[in-house]
Amino acid sequence: MSPDAPGPDGPAQAALAALAQQVQGCTRCPELAETRTHVVAGAFPPGARLVVMGEAPGAQEDATGAPFVGRSGQLLDLLLAEAGGDRARTAVLNTLKCRPPGNRPPRPAESAHCRPWTEQQLGLAAPRLVVTLGLSATRWFLPRTALGAVRGVVHEVAGLRVLPTYHPSAALRGGPRGEPRRLLAEDLALAVRLVA
């Protein structure tokens, strides 16, 4: 994929919208299909060159059907803005499209069932850079890795440039002066520079 790829254009936007409609009816994970309120397919603004990818929807995302709208999403928006980025021009999705009950980690089979949806989304979005938030999202690209060993560095994976970093929830747990927040802010600033 070219680093100059402009993000999803008209035909890609239409294909992403059609894919989002398809994923709404997914029942590959019976427990998730039974307990979810909404499938959270993701948000792909036209022209988005940056994709931010998390693990799975939380309670507020499940309730609204939109990605990263809870406290973690608010911090993500703030740190993106401080870095000179704009959430309205950033694609946001999760590796899993349905909330696991009780916010438990995704099971391997669930991640495998959702993987084709996410692969198609990334192919259509054609981002210049994917920022992975947290270990689960990072391991989607770099299996059996430790986040501390790979964060803050761009990795080439299957034609995509991937920048692993901390999840905003880790930054919230660490507080406003904590190390995870500082490093997340640094990595988002790097991401904004790389897609400018």
Residue with the larger pLDDT of the pair 175 and 79 = 79
Domain ranges of the chain: 10-195
Q: Tell me the HSE value of 173 on the side-chain side, using a 13 A CA sphere.
A: 6
Give me the percent of the chain exceeding a pLDDT of 90: 92
Distances (CA, A) of 137 to 10, 14, 25, 147, 165: 28, 26, 23, 10, 9
pLDDT digits (tens, 9 = 90+) for 160-195: 999 999 999 999 999 988 999 999 999 999 999 999
CATH number of the domain at 10-195, out of 3.40.190.80, 3.40.50.20, 3.40.50.300, 3.40.470.10?
A: 3.40.470.10
The DSSP element (H or E) to which 85 belongs, if any, is: none
Structure tokens at 136: 């689960």
The pTM of the full predicted model, rounded to 2 decimals, is: 0.94
pLDDT digits (tens, 9 = 90+) for 29-76: 999 999 999 999 999 999 999 999 999 999 999 999 999 999 999 999
